[in-house]
Structure formats: C-alpha cells, structure tokens
Structure 1
Amino acid sequence: MTFPSTDPKTTSTTNSSIVFDQVTKLYPGQAAPALDSLDIVVKSGELVCLVGPSGGGKTTALQLVNRLVDLSSGEIRIGDRSIMDIPAIELRRTIGYAIQQSGLFPHYTVAENIAIVPTILKWDKARITRRTAELLELVGLTPVDSWLGRYPSQLSGGQQQRVGIARALAADPPVMLMDEPFGALDPITRMAVQDEFLEIHRAVGKTTLFVTHDIDEAIKMADRIAILKPGGKLAQYDTPAEVLTHPADEFVAEFLGAERGLKRLALTTVAEVLVAKAESELPVESDLPQVEADVTLREALSVVSAAGAHGARVMERGSHLGDVTLHDLVDPPANAVGARNGEGVGS
C-alpha cells in the first residue's frame, strides 16, 4: 500500500513527546490513587502501550493527557509545554482520540464524521474534501467515492474502526490517544485492523499512547510497553523484547503468563531469521509448507506444527527466499530476536 503525505499546513515540526512527571490522580472519595507518581517519557513518533489489570489506571493516564480528567499532582508535558498552559478545548483539538466501538456519530455520514475537527477549525471546504479523501485512502477504504455518503450503520465493525482512525487523524495532530480501539472487533478483523494501523503509524509517525488489556496486542503494536499494577503504580517500562526477556518482578512475570517464551517469538519475523542465518545452513527440504517472509516466528511455528514438518519455505511475492528449520523457529539466532526494537539485526 502507498500512503499519501500528511498535510503540510497541519503537520507539526515541534517536539511531540509526551512526558509524565510524577503524575498522580486521586479521585474524590477514594482512599488510594488511580494513578500513583507515574514517570514515563513517550518519545516523538513512538507508539507506547499502557497495559495492566483492571484498576491499574490505564484509561485515567490517557484521559489526563487531554484533560478529560484533572491532575491531582505532577505534570504532563507535550513537547515543551505543560498541558495546563493550553486551554482544554484547544488541547483536545490538537490531539487525535480513538476509542472502542469507534465513537462515530450515527446521524453523520463517513465524510461528515471525518470532517468534524477540521470544520471546527474552520478549514475551507476544498481542503476538508481533499483531506477526507486522503484519509479514506490511508485507512484502506477505497474507492473513496463509494464510502463518503455511507452512515455508520452501513459499515462493518472493522470499517467503522477505520473511519474512527481517519477521524482521529483528520487535523493531522502530532499526538494520538487510543483507548482499547480494537477491543470490540472479532479476532480476524482485529488482526487486520492492527496491521493496517501499524502501516499507518510507520508512514505518518504520530506519537501514540495506546491503552489495551491485551498483552499480545501490546507486544505486536508497541515500541515500548508500560505495565501498570493495581493502584496505578508503574511496574516496568521497556521494549517488548526486554519486558519478555527480563520481567522486572514477579508481578510482571505473572502478568505476561506462562507462554512468555512463545510471546517473544512474535517479536521476530521469518525474514529476520533468514538475514541472521549463515547461507551454509540453507536449504533443508523441498516439500515444506510455505510461509510469507513477514510472518512472525510464532505464526510460522503454528504452520509448521500443523503440517507436521521440520521447517518451512520462506516466500516473498511468489519468490523463494530460503528455508528455515524447526530449530530456527524455536531457538532463533540471538541477533534476530528483538530486531524490531533495534536490538537484533543491524544493531
């Protein structure tokens, strides 16, 4: 897929990091804080997932950023500015916000839903029309003209979620907040929309804070993961590879689950193993099941196990790149694991 460029009139060239500096939120009538002295930095262009059990303060942290709830103490900065120095309405207009069930207005068409913030910002009609078409192409709803006049009730769940993402991106905000955005989708649609969003994120590079209860989703999506304990205490903040390899404590290890080793295989693609392997180790057999080069080791292992085979042929756009053994999949070369986070190939 090719992605249209962002609108130069709205793209921010300033630092769009999100800094939580000793952030605490204590709701009235509650003895314990919902969020307790949170200290993390989300770098410009990063996608950071907030995960943890119920009561960990994930959604509270998100809502504090755009001032849907107020800080009890501490400071949040976007770039070099405290959010308290920005009027709340102005702040919210410069932050994209996507939620579970998409949050689309049912009586607005797709075009009208996407245009909400640009209209409030008094963009001219031609610019709104151009941006709406650009975004529908970006989220894979083409041909554009066939989607503009539809209402949310005429869309599937996955299509609604794509429109919700387009709406969040409409004014080209430097920061995006996403609260369980794919939680209501069935597993197959969810995987497709996750993949779509990751492509979009790589293309447009928005600083993104993403709340999910699903650790597998966090491992797949995130550059870094913040794991919160009940009571809003930060347990660990690191790359998916580091969290899976070196849990900070027993709580994190239990939260990751007994399949922590298998989850780690989702960090590496088959192509990365091929790059890390010596050529002398190839090939193995000619009648192996085929896997695409961009699938993860975990997905490839599932294919190989189902076929009762000893390895797989690695394909890319119909071309045979090489073969991987079962051993490669369960015990990949050390310089391949975690390559997505800059810890493997080329690091």
Structure 2
Amino acid sequence: MIVARSIDELKNFNKDTCVTIGNFDGVHMGHQKLISRTCEKASENGLESVVVTFDPHPLRVLVNSKTPPFITLTEQKIELIAQHEPSCILALPFTKEMAALTPEEFISKYLVQGLSMKELVVGYDYALGKGRAGNYEVLSSLGRKMGYGVERLDPVIINDAVVSSTRIRDMVEEGNVWDVKPLLGRFYQVRGEVIHGMNRGGKLLGFPTANIKLEDELFPKPGVYAIRVEVKGKVLPGVANIGTNPTFGNDTISVEAHIMDFSSDIYGNTIRVHFIQRIRSEKKFSGLDELKARINKDIELAKAILAYPESKVRPGINLKEPQGNIK
C-alpha cells in the first residue's frame, strides 16, 4: 500500500483506479462503507483502489478558527483508513487555490489525469469543487464526458439516525463514549505524550497517573472514565480523569490516566487512551481522605465495566511511512 501526499508522488502510477473521496473525519461506519465498497469494486473491475482525502481539513483553510474540533487528525485518519487495505491513500494538501477549482477542473487534474480514475464511489450527500457545485448529478454528467462511472451509496443508519461526524462529535463532547462505539466501529480514542505533572497521583494519593500532552482536538466531557490504554505494545485497563482537578484548585484542563497494575516508567512515550464508559462528573472533595476513597470506588467501578466482553479494544497500528508499493 502507498501513502502519498501529492499527485507528483504517483507520477509513475499508471494503473486505472476506483476512487472514493472525502474528508473522512472520524473514519466512522459511513466512511468505512465507502472505503470497503471502493476496494470491492476495484477488485471486481481489475482496478486499484484509492482513497483521496485532504490535509488539513478544508474547513480549517476556509473558515479557520470557527471550525469544530476534529475527531481524527491526519495521522490517525490515515492509520484507520489503512486498516481497510486500499491500494493507495492520497492525502492532498488543501489550499485556497484548490478550493477555487470547479468540479470539472478538480476531477480532470487530480482524478482523471492524476489517478486514471475509471470508477468513483461517493457518499449520499457528497459534493466537491468551488461552492460544492460537484454534486452527484454533476459528477455523473462529468463522468459521461470524461469516461468514468459514479456510484452513490446510501447513508448508514444506526439507532434511527444517520451516522455523521457531527453526531459523533456531539456524543463525545456529551461524554456518551459507550454509545458512540457502534457509530465509529470502535471506542473513541485520544493519543499523546506522557509528560511530568504535579506528582500528586503516586506520591500524595497512592494512585500513579500518566499525564498526557494531547495531540487530538476533541476530548470527552470532563469527568472520570473507565479506559483502556495502549502502551508499549500492550492494551491495559485503567481510569482517566478529564478536567481541572477542583480539589486542588487547578484552572486548566488536563487528562490523567491511572493504568491498573502497571509501574513502568513511560515518560516520553506516546500512548493511546480508549474511552469505554463515563463513571461520574468531576467533584470537589473535602480533603485527601475523601478523594482517595472515591478513587478506590472509581477503580472498582471501572474494573466491573471493563469485565464486559463488549469493552475490549483492538490495538491500533502505527503507520508512519509508506508501506511498500502498489502491486
């Protein structure tokens, strides 16, 4: 599989392709249906499967600070797409100049000339090009002119509503991390480097914690969560606190994870935290004894939650470099 950041990197790529294109924020079940159908259709027609996305998200270029927090940043998005094994992932740098292209100009330059596209698979509401003018009808008309076919997929419905990035974002921000799993096909996760904190967890409270410098933008509603942590190639149970630690009078948001039955030094390591279930809201306690007692109870509740088979997570992959060539 190839991971490319520009059409120029694929200049020696002379095979016909089946393409899907989108922002794929979250790589949720709707996105996964698109990617799977693209790979399936490519196989049926003797084509190579290509997933085209953008870096950064177009909204970040077009409206900048007014954008919501994104569910997945580019590296994680590529990792999640790669799990479906397309022949190629093309993460195009999105610019204002690209945004100004008409649908015909974009498709001609990037998809037909650049990727020799013969089939295009799109979502039920997808549109591309300046002013989002390239809807299904326009894409189909251009396909008849340029020699490619278009297939539009229906939305994925889960729990009587369309699966969408907006719906998932709202659920995560409300702390509904257990209920978001069917929409994502996995539990919501964040990643970050373990950094030195206030040294209160182990020394003061008896519960060592990993303080995480987050790379992601979206994190669940403040509170205490049952979690699973990917660290040093293992998936381990734990409890995380998101918030300001009001008992100690902090005023900045932090994420601290207590990994159960784990004592290794992991400062400087990047870990992933999978949020399984929210246990409670943050609370200001009267003192250390009350806080310790509550933490003990949180750990026992987390153990009970994590005992359910449905709480298991599959370790992620770490795709830093292109993985070979298109066969």
TM-score by length of 2: 0.28
TM-score by length of 1: 0.27
